[in-house]
């Protein structure tokens, strides 16, 4: 077991990384009158027996289901789930467990944030992407038709339990999607993590337990440090969005149906890398290393979208302020910067370069 402590101005909680966490889950939970679990039908079918094994018969949780897919990350589902909790007797002393991937985690955290103006919750992320990224930091939210996570709040969990055993049932594609977020962590702030992933592609992709535990724990540690410095994304925390401006635009343009989140972010990182190359924020040698490493964890699936459609979607990015587009660029390996002067013509050139790579797939 590895323990990473998240410390922010408003919250402090542990992230536990290791194996065989589910069998000991109940004794790790705070005592509450009612415990609710939000999960997806697919995750529950795989893991319900192991999840419930640690709960005594007299204290079984109430299970709520959220269908899989970004199309269900909407306010209508939040209202339905809140209504079900109310009907089941949830009050301010209840505990909600978000057990699933990033969508379940985001929606569970948001539901906990607004139900009776806030109840406690715990994250048990079931995907690699959720373990290394979305479960940590207190960001919660739901999508609008016009953009991703445009409704949300900051609401930190009491704890995060990242059980590596849950990754056994991930498809290779889902595993790679999560690894792209860890590559991002290395690019923006941890050159040592990047080198490890650059040099250990084979071991990581075959799910070597020691290699995965290292990648997961170091990725979480990096994010915990950034969140501790900038809890509300007023400065440094924005670097965590490398690849997300174009990545989110890709998801919107393809109606969330073609790519997994990590895959869209990987394409977005390649676009940001090209923009950084043209602006000389990163050397050609470092840019080549980053590009090779991203592609080594592929293949990246193709998609169809025009540069203009992606520009339009990027204009609604929630990082923008007062009409100014904020964009994250790599400054080398292990460092990134936020710029506010990216012109449409520059972004179109980077997107056109990325779309040319898409057509080569």
The strand order across the sheet containing 2-7 reads: 2-7, 12-18, 160-163, 120-125, 95-100, 35-39, 62-65
Q: Which entry of 221, 261, 318, 319 is annotated as an active-site residue?
A: 261
pLDDT at 323 over 80: no
pLDDT of residue 319 exceeding 80, the answer is: no
Domains and CATH numbers, the chain: 2-169 (3.40.50.1970), 172-360 (1.20.1090.10)
Tell me whether residue 173 is one of the annotated catalytic residues.
Answer: no
181 is catalytic: yes
Average pLDDT of every residue of the chain: 94
Give yes or no: 318 in active site. Answer: no
Read off the pLDDT of each residue in 170-187 and give the average, rounded to a whole number: 97
pLDDT of 145 over the 90 cut? no
Taking only the tens place, the pLDDT of each residue in 120-144 is 999 999 999 999 999 999 999 999 9
Q: Which of 156, 237, 318, 325 is catalytic?
A: 237
Rounded average pLDDT over 202-231:
95
Average pLDDT of the segment spanning 254-280 = 95
Strand ranges in the chain using DSSP code E only, listed in sequence order: 2-7, 12-18, 35-39, 62-65, 95-100, 120-125, 139-144, 147-154, 160-163, 327-330, 336-339
Name the pairing type of β-strands 35-39 and 95-100: parallel
Q: How confident is the model at residue 1 (pLDDT cuts 50, 70, 90)?
A: confident
Catalytic residue among 155, 174, 176, 181: 181
pLDDT attached to residue 230: 93
Answer yes or no: are the C-beta atoms of 242 and 328 closer than 8 Å: yes
pLDDT score, position 315: 83
Confidence at residue 248, expressed as pLDDT on a 0 to 100 scale: 93
Backbone angles phi, psi at 140, to 5 degrees: -130, 160
- Farthest CA pair distance, the chain: 63
- Retrieve residue 308's tokens: 């203009």
Q: Of 174, 231, 233, 263, which one is the catalytic site residue?
A: 233
**Is 49 among the catalytic positions?**
no
Which residues are CB-contacts of 169 (< 8 A; sequence separation ≥ 6)?
Answer: 46, 47
Give 3-state DSSP helix, strand, coil % of the chain, rounded to 5.
55, 15, 30
Split at pLDDT 50, 70, 90, the class of 320 is: low
* 320 catalytic residue (yes or no): no
Q: In this structure, are residues 102 and 127 in contact, taking their beta carbons and an 8 Å threshold?
A: yes
* Per-residue pLDDT at 33: 86
Which of 27, 57, 117, 321 is labelled catalytic?
A: 117
Q: Of 156, 176, 223, 319, which one is the catalytic site residue?
A: 223
Alpha-carbon distance 333 to 340, whole Å?
21
Q: Is 241 a catalytic residue?
A: yes
233 is catalytic: yes
Which of 115-129, 184-198, 232-246 has the weakest average pLDDT?
Answer: 232-246
- Of 73, 174, 241, 251, catalytic: 241
What pLDDT is stored for residue 17 in this prediction? Answer: 95
Name the H helices within 138-233.
172-189, 191-199, 201-205, 209-229
Write down the catalytic residue from 156, 248, 318, 325. Answer: 248
Mean pLDDT of 95-108: 97
Q: At what angle do helices 191-199 and 172-189 cross, to 10 degrees?
A: 140
- Greater model confidence, 326 or 83: 83
206 is catalytic: no
Note the pLDDT of residue 301: 96
What pLDDT digit, counting tens, does each position of 324-345 carry? 678 999 999 999 999 998 888 9
What pLDDT is recorded for position 318?
57
Q: Do residues 74 and 143 make contact, with C-beta atoms less than 8 angstroms apart?
A: yes
Point out the catalytic residue in the list 221, 244, 319, 325: 244
Tell me how far CA of residue 138 lies from CA of 22, 35, 157, 180, in angstroms.
22, 20, 7, 21
Nearest to 346 by CA among 278, 291, 287: 278
For residues 313 and 317, what is the distance between their CA atoms, to the nearest angstrom? 7
């Amino acid at each position: 077991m590895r323990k990473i402590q998240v410390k922010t101005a408003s919250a402090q909680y542990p992230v536990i990384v290791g194996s065989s966490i589910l069998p000991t889950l109940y004794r790790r939970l705070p005592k509450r009158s009612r415990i609710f679990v939000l999960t997806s039908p697919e995750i529950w079918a795989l893991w319900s027996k192991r999840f419930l094994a640690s709960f005594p018969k007299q204290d079984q949780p109430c299970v709520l289901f959220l269908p899989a897919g970004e199309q269900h990350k909407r306010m209508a589902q939040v209202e339905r789930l809140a209504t079900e909790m109310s009907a089941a007797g949830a009050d301010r002393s209840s505990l909600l467990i978000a057990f699933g991937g990033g969508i379940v985690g985001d929606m569970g955290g948001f539901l906990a944030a607004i139900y009776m103006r806030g109840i406690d919750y715990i994250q048990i992320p079931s995907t690699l992407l959720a373990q290394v990224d979305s479960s940590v930091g207190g960001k919660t939210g739901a999508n609008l038709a016009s953009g991703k996570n445009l409704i949300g709040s900051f609401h930190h969990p009491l704890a995060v339990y990242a059980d590596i055993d849950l990754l056994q049932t991930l498809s290779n594609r889902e595993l790679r999607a999560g690894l792209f977020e860890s590559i991002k962590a290395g690019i923006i702030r941890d050159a040592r993590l990047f080198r490890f992933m650059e040099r250990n592609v084979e071991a990581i992709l075959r799910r070597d337990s020691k290699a995965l535990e290292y990648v997961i724990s170091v990725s979480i540690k990096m994010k915990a440090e950034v969140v501790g410095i900038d809890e509300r994304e007023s400065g440094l925390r924005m670097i965590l969005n490398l690849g997300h401006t174009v990545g989110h635009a890709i998801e919107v343009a393809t109606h969330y149906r073609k790519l997994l989140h990590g895959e869209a972010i990987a394409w977005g990182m390649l676009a940001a890398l090209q923009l950084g190359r043209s602006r000389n924020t990163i050397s050609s040698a470092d840019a080549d290393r980053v590009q090779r490493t991203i592609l080594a964890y592929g293949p990246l699936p193709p998609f169809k979208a025009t540069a203009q459609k992606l520009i339009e979607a990027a204009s609604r990015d929630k990082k923008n302020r007062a009409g100014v587009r904020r964009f994250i660029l790599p400054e080398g390996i292990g460092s990134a910067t936020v710029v506010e002067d990216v012109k449409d013509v520059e972004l179109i050139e980077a997107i056109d370069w990325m779309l040319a790579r898409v057509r080569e797939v």
